[in-house]
């Protein structure tokens, strides 16, 4: 397991973090949601691009209500990663396995690659 952040230090807009997926350098987004702390791979489900791959380098919509892909405008619900509009509507961001222990959020690296959709 790899530590990502202290639970009480996650800002409202979340944290972008780096991790390894096999030989690949990837990014995740760690968030507080109404259903608890969640992490998603920072990769759109329309095309394999980071949500903030294009300007503005931001993963949120202007109202901070949805995660948004800046390439073609897919909008994702932060609570469960569901794409609510855009070219991949109905799909989900890939959830990353995290666990909280002693107030620290850890990425369960041994489970990376066994992604599950919600
Ligand atoms: S790559 Fe994200 S909406 Fe097209």
**Tokens representing residue 21 in the block:** 């997926």
Structurally, the chain folds into a number of domains equal to 1
Rounded to the nearest angstrom, the distance between the alpha carbon of 46 and the centre of ligand 1 is 5
Q: Find the CATH number of the domain harbouring 47.
A: 2.102.10.10
Range of the structural domain that residue 61 is part of: 2-111
Residue 69 counted as domain residue:
yes
pLDDT, tens digit, 9 for 90 and up, residues 24-74 = 899 999 999 988 999 999 999 999 999 999 887 889 999 999 999 999 999
Residue 99 domain-assigned (yes or no)? yes
pLDDT tens for 74-114 read 999 999 999 999 999 999 999 999 999 999 999 999 888 64
* CB contact set of 63 (below 8 Å; sequence gap of 6+): none
Residue of 74, 75, 89, 93 to test ligand 1 pocket, by largest number of atoms within 8 Å of CB: 74
| The pLDDT of residue 113 | 65
pTM of the full structure: 0.92
Helix (H, G, I), strand (E, B) or coil at 61: coil
Is 118 a domain residue? no
């Amino acid at each position: 397991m790899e530590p990502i952040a202290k639970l009480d230090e996650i800002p409202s807009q979340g944290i972008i973090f780096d991790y390894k997926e096999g030989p690949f350098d990837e990014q995740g987004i760690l968030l507080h949601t109404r259903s608890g702390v969640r992490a998603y791979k920072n990769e759109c489900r329309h095309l394999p691009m980071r949500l903030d791959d294009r300007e503005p380098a931001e993963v949120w919509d202007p109202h901070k209500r949805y995660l948004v892909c800046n390439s073609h405008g897919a909008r994702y619900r932060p609570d469960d990663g569901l794409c609510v509009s855009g070219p991949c509507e109905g799909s989900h961001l890939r959830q990353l396995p995290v666990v909280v222990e002693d107030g620290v959020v850890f990425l369960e690296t041994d489970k990376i690659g066994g992604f599950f959709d919600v």
